[in-house]
Amino acid sequence: MDRIHITGGVPLNGTIPISGAKNAALPLMIASLLTGDTLELANVPRLADIAALTRILGNHGVDHMVVGKRPGQTTETGQTIRLTASNVIDTTAPYELVSTMRASFWVVAPLLARFGEAKVSLPGGCAIGTRPVDLLIMALEKLGAQIEIDAGYVVARTKNGLRGAEIDFPKVTVGGTHVALMAASLAYGTTVISNAAREPEVVDLADCLIKMGARIQGAGTPRIVIEGVARMNGARHEVLPDRIETGTYAMAVAMTGGDVVLENTRADLLHSALDILSTTGAEITQVPGGIRVRRNGAGIAAVDVTTDPFPGFPTDLQAQFMALMTLANGQSQIRETIFENRFMHVQELARLGAKIRLEGDLAIVEGVERLKGAPVMATDLRASVSLVIAGLAAEGETQINRVYHLDRGFEALEAKLARCGARIERVRA
């Protein structure tokens, strides 16, 4: 298994290009199942999760093509792919594939809406809590699907197509909103989603669905109205920038010090996180096409944070922020309200010398003067990148094991950090 070696204590200086958002690219790729025409997606990141979903879509019969490079395109501008679901041969998504990537469960929505049936494996356990799919199933049932759970599979059918309905989510769910949007786009009549997720990735999916012929209003607000259409068409869409990758590198700079421009990204995708970073003492400015993050000399102020659905502070940046707070002047309280059991980075950060106490969903971080490098273990995607950030700021050498978690969600991580002066390398097993 590959490992990452970091020799810490070097400030970051330079530019980092931000990739397309993994969490937008995944539902956008799944939306290709809604039509027999070609969906062209640009700025798709090269990630293990994208490759896994490509395999899953291929198993359904979706044709996948990577478009050759165009003039001016570099490896850092993401890839353009074409997906064509004109010949869907199988509406079953098997356990061996779905268990490799949770979000692939969402294929249930377009398959059911377009073909009237889908059999999709339940995704199974996950390192960050139980992560159920009951609300996704509730949404499909409201739209008239008959659903059975059979031997670990969700078997969904409709007799005469899906029907528009009122879907009121008791809890904000990104996956539930994606599923409801895709299914309702091809349902008869009007659907109203209440308490919808407002995440930028939901807006990006809705924008693409609209290009594909869907009639959707209100994406980005808690109330989305969808007028179903009989068929959808192909389209071209560019995946929006990855706000979690943006926030992660911003926190890395805030922690190590230095001056970095994050390119091809937008501050409006992560205001809450950038506001909090400014409060910790980092200087954040918008520059054309990106965001500049600086911290020179000043100490890191301790700030309390609670994770919340968008526009609140994202749970996917909680681990990285905790890494930053381990070197703050004073005590910070970090509350995780979205997922249970999302504190697995705590004991690994402790191996670097961090002082963190857990009380239920609250982590109390006592800032220390310095961290010291050590061997640590990556446990999930966001937790592992928090160890990278901490390793960059720690004295001496940090060795991160099980880095396949990082490859799921961070494109060219070592190269992007190394170009800013970080001493980081991958040791291939």
Where in 331-360 is the site for ligand UD1 (CB under 6 A)? Answer: 338-339
Toward ligand UD1, which CB reaches closer, 6 or 26? 26
Q: Site for ligand UD1 (CB under 6 A): which residue of 124, 132, 189, 299? A: 132
Q: Tell me the C-alpha to C-alpha distance, in Å, between residue 166 and each of 106, 146, 183, 196.
A: 20, 17, 13, 12
Residue number closest to ligand UD1, CB atom: 175
Of 129-137, 206-214, 349-357, 372-380, the segment contacting ligand UD1 by CB under 6 A is 129-137
Sole window of 71-79, 167-175, 233-241, 414-422 interacting with ligand UD1 (rule: CB under 6 A)? 167-175
The one catalytic residue in 67, 126, 149, 415 is: 126
Q: How far is the CB of 317 from ligand UD1 (least distance, A)?
A: 10
* Contact (Cβ atoms closer than 8 angstroms) between residue 388 and residue 413: yes
How far is CA 177 from each of CA 41, 62, 167, rounded to the nearest angstrom?
Answer: 21, 23, 10
110 binds ligand UD1 (CB under 6 A): no
Buried-exposed string 179-218: b where 16+ CB fall within 10 A, e elsewhere:
bbbbbbbbbbeebbbebbbbbbbbbbbbbbbbebbbebee
- Catalytic-residue membership of 126: yes
Who contacts 277 (Cβ-Cβ below 8 Å, separation ≥6)?
250, 251, 254, 284, 293
Q: If binding is defined by CB under 6 A, does position 318 make contact with ligand UD1?
A: no
- In the complex, minimum distance from the CB of residue 90 to ligand UD1, in angstroms, rounded to a whole number: 23
Q: How far is the CB of 236 from ligand UD1 (least distance, A)?
A: 22
Instruction: Answer whether 53's CB lies under 8 Å from 30's CB.
Output: yes
The answer to whether the CB of 142 falls within 8 A of the CB of 156 is no
User: Any contact of residue 235 with ligand UD1 (CB under 6 A)?
Assistant: no
SS3 27: helix
> How many chain residues touch ligand UD1 (CB under 6 A)?
19
Tokens read off for 56: 């899953």
> In terms of Cα–Cα distance, which of 87, 77, 72, 71 is closest to 20?
77
CA distance 265 to 76: 13
Question: Smallest distance, Å, CB 134 to ligand UD1?
Answer: 5
Binding part of the chain for ligand UD1, among 8-16, 133-141, 214-222, 355-363 by CB under 6 A, reads 133-141
Task: Please report how close the Cβ of residue 400 comes to ligand UD1 at its closest, in angstroms.
Answer: 20
How many angstroms separate the CA atoms of 152 and 254, rounded?
45
Under the criterion CB under 6 A, does residue 315 sit at the interface with ligand UD1? yes
Integer angstrom CA distances of residue 423 from 222, 393, 407: 44, 11, 19
Residue type present at position 387: L
185-204 mask for ligand UD1 (x: CB under 6 A)? Answer: ----------------x---
Q: Is 313 in the site for ligand UD1 (CB under 6 A)?
A: no
Tell me if 154 sits within 8 A of 137, measured CB to CB. yes
Q: Which stretch binds ligand UD1 (CB under 6 A): 126-134, 259-267, 285-293, 391-399?
A: 126-134
Smallest distance from the beta carbon of 46 to ligand UD1, in angstroms? Answer: 17
How do strand 331-335 and strand 362-366 relate by DSSP bridges? Answer: antiparallel
Rg (CA), the chain: 22
Stretch that binds ligand UD1, among 166-174, 289-297, 394-402, 419-427 (CB under 6 A): 166-174
Binding-site annotation, residues for phosphoenolpyruvate: 22-23
Which residues contact ligand UD1 by CB under 6 A?
A: 23, 26, 103, 131-136, 171, 173-176, 201, 315-316, 338-339
Binding-site annotation, residues for UDP-N-acetyl-alpha-D-glucosamine: 102, 131-135, 316, 338
Binding-site annotation, residues: 22-23, 102, 131-135, 316, 338
Catalytic positions: 126
